[in-house]
Structure 1
Amino acid sequence: MVKHACVALAFMLSALFTTAAHAEQGTAYISDELYIFMHSGAGKNYRILGSVDAGTPVTLVSGEENNGFLEIIDDKQRQGWVETKFINQDKSLKIQYQELGEQLAQTQQALRNAQAQLPELQTLNRDLQEQAQQLQAQLDQAIAERDALNAKQQGLKAKEKRQLLTYGGAIAFIGLFLGIILTVILSRRKRYDGWA
């Protein structure tokens, strides 16, 4: 039984020294007790300077543990010693609660702002949708006009080709006709020239 108690005591002491070794100079927090006393020295036999409320952020002076106490500077700029077991590196529930309250207030304000802007944004959305519909109608009309112009242009090209073919055929026919007439006239002339 004594052996088990010694082993448990050894584990607790090693955990305590490990915690103290990891404590560094910087910000720490008083654990979530009601309040603790701050002493003028590293022990309960030193004069009490005052109490520090639970969750109060404090500054570690050196981070070195002395007789189960750490030297701190509290939120009232008093320098003294408090028991190591009441110092946490994590934010206290009091600080977390305050921060969550502030975040909640900011979120609620952002929500109120968004709700106030909602009617304006809905109106703007309707206006933009109407503009989009008008632009789509203009685009459809422009596409229809483009297609009509393309069809008209193709019709004009086809008509121009027909006219060119017609003119070419007429010129060919006239040339053929003139060729026949000239051939006939020249052949008659030669015949008459031979009789003379």
Structure 2
Amino acid sequence: MKPYLIACIAFAVFATLASGANAQTTTRYVSDELFVPLRSGQGNQYRIVHRGLPSGTELKFIEASEDNEWSLVEMRNGEQGWIRTQYLLDKPTAGIQLKSAQAELEKLRTQYANLQNDYRALSGDKSSALNNISSLSEQRDQLERELNELKQLSSGTIELNQRYQDLLEKHQMLQTESDIVKADNERLRKEKTYDQWIYGASILGAGMIITLIIQGFGGRKRRSEWIN
């Protein structure tokens, strides 16, 4: 009973200290593929506050123990407890970053399909637009290959952040390419409208000239008949 009372007092002291240090709190994440128990004190002998925090759980870091083996954290519902520091990460887990990369890839696939449809509707023989579509296709395939590699490496987080940043940069490049293709398509649409206008104006002008010629011949014929 005495150890339990001491544990309760210690937990109350730590909770009080934590409430005064909220301005200095930071965020931590539970590392990959784990269900980590949250305890009321710095040690396995303390009561379990939460039996299993799943991987990727966002926690508010409050303070670390003197030996840095345990960290005091707070869940979103306000409940606090101690967890081994080795299970905490400064950044989201590989699984969370992988889902974000997959969402970006799906967005690029949709943009790519829309650009192909616009291109077919406007003109299929413009080499500049075709080259841009081909370039987007190659970059999309490269992104898919890197995503497959990222899936294989999702169990580790050493190089994942750098790869994730590379994917974001390539996404920005693809977005720029997408804007260029959209501009080309708009230009092609305007050129096609202009060509149709010129063609119509030419037909109208030719019709007016032919009408004037016919009227001229008709007038001469009437004057000749009147003189005779």
After TM superposition, the score normalised by the length of structure 2 is: 0.41
TM-score by length of 1: 0.46
Larger radius of gyration: 1
